[in-house]
Amino acid sequence: MRFMIIVKATKDSEAGVMPSEQLLTEMGKFNEELMKAGVMLAGDGLHPSSKGARVQFSGKKRTVIDGPFAETKELIAGFWLWQVKSKEEAIEWVKRCPNPHPGESEIEIRQVFEAEDFGAEFTPELREQEERLRKKLSLGS
C-alpha cells in the first residue's frame, strides 16, 4: 500500500522561515531510516504558497489564482510517498518522525489509489497505458 504523508504548513513555513540545522539533521536521519526500511519512495519540502498558484476549473473555463493562500492550516509544507503494509504501519512511522515545525505541527496520512481500486471503469486499455507511464517514470525517461 502506498500512502502520501502530508506535512501541514504553519505561519512560519508560509512566511518562508527555514528549518534549523538541528531539524534538518534529524529529518535527514529519519529519511535514512525510511530508506533503509524500504518505506520511502519520494519526499520533499515545498516553498510557501506565495510562490505558488492555483487553477480553478468551471466546465471548460480555467482561472489562475496566484498565492499566497489564506488558510494556512489547509496548506502543505512538504510530503513523503511511502510504501508500507498498512495505515497502522504508516502511523507508527509518523509517530517516530521529528516534529517538522517548532511548536504545534500536524501530519496527515492519506492512502494512494491503486489500479484495482477503480474497478471496471479502469479498462484493460487504460491499465496498459498506466503501466507504460509508470515504466517510463521508473526509467527516468
Residue 89 included in any domain: yes
Residue 137 included in any domain: no
Residue 43 included in any domain: yes
Residue 63 included in any domain: yes
The pTM of the whole model exceeds 0.85: yes
| The C-alpha cell that represents 54 in the structure block | 492555483
Structural domains of the chain, count = 1
Residue 127 included in any domain: no
Residue 123 included in any domain: no
- pLDDT computed for residue 72 by the predictor: 81
Compute mean pLDDT per 10 residues along the chain, 141 residues long, and list them. Answer: 97 94 97 98 96 97 96 92 98 97 94 90 90 85 55
- Which domain covers residue 100, as residue numbers? 2-116
